[in-house]
Amino acid sequence: TRTIAMAPSLMTMDLDQFKEQITFLNDKVNMYHIDVMDGHFVPNISLSPWFIGEVRKISNLPMDAHLMVTDAEFWVDQLIDIKCERINMPSEVINGKAFSLIGKIHAAGLKAGVVLNPETPISTIMPYIDQLDNVMIMTIDPGFAGQPFLESTLDKIVELRRLRDEHGYGYEIEMDGSTNLKHWKMISDAAPDTYVIGRSGLFGLTDNIEDSWNQMVGEYE
């Protein structure tokens, strides 16, 4: 059986139950997914390096940052400062500095990833794909939870697995957006390594994290 890594998307958690939810999830999931938006790359603002620090007070799990920002370098520097374990940059805005940003993240001993929005083809990242530790495929438009699942994006996951097998690349493959029972079979057929789970698949199921978790696991197994 395949090992699936779970990354709860903390922008979709209930902030009034911050501590209960993190404490409950700590020994069940592999990392926390932290959406960082600047109000320009996407029309929304969400979590921040400060929030990562708050989670770290009650968790030792690695942090998986998902940057949705136009000034990638500014945010990469902030995340390097707090040693965010995996930093995923928007592939759409790093042209002209992809190699240096990946190099900077690696020099800090951290993992470098890129994100492909639904319209962005794999060819965009081919020049540096061999340097990457992670490739994130957006299965929804970035910016908000609870948006329509874009089935056609799953082809990129299959293609990334094929490329990895063929060339021996070292990246992991992560998917993000509307991971829930309705889409579970399609996603697991495409077989990414990491599933981001947000409002539609976990936090929005009930108003109690243990009930939501049991409902999710019960449905998916």
44's CB contacts (< 8 A; 6+ apart) are: 37, 68, 143, 144
25's CB contacts (< 8 A; 6+ apart) are: 8, 32, 209, 213
Residue span 20-39 as binding mask against Zn ion, x where in contact by CB under 5 A, dash where not? ---------------x----
Minimum CB–partner distance for residue 102 and Zn ion (Å): 20
> Rounded to the nearest 5°, which phi and psi values hold at 138?
-80, 125
Residue closer to ligand DX5 by CB (options 45, 158) is: 45
Q: Is 142 in the site for ligand DX5 (CB under 6 A)?
A: yes
Minimum CB–partner distance for residue 88 and Zn ion (Å): 8
CA dist., res. 145 & res. 159, Å (int): 25
Is 35 designated active site?
A: yes
96's CB contacts (< 8 A; 6+ apart) are: none
Q: Is 113 in the site for ligand DX5 (CB under 6 A)?
A: no
220's CB contacts (< 8 A; 6+ apart) are: 181, 184
Q: Is 143 in the site for ligand DX5 (CB under 6 A)?
A: yes
Site for Zn ion in 41-70 (CB under 5 A): 66
Q: Is 86 in the site for Zn ion (CB under 5 A)?
A: no
Contact 14, 21 (CB under 8 A): yes
Is 207 designated active site?
A: no
Q: Is 103 in the site for ligand DX5 (CB under 6 A)?
A: no
Interacting stretch for ligand DX5, rule CB under 6 A, among 124-132, 164-172, 192-200, 211-219? 192-200
Minimum CB–partner distance for residue 7 and ligand DX5 (Å): 9
Minimum CB–partner distance for residue 80 and ligand DX5 (Å): 21
As beta bridge partners, residue 115 has 90, 136
Interface residue with Zn ion among 92, 133, 172, 176 (CB under 5 A) is 176
Q: Pick what 51 binds: ligand DX5, Zn ion, none; C-beta below 5 to 8 Å, kind-dependent.
A: none
Q: Summarize as ranges the residues that interact with ligand DX5 (CB under 6 A).
A: 9, 11-12, 33, 35, 66, 140, 142-146, 176-179, 196, 198-201
Q: Summarize as ranges the residues that interact with Zn ion (CB under 5 A).
A: 35, 66, 176
Active site residues: 35, 176
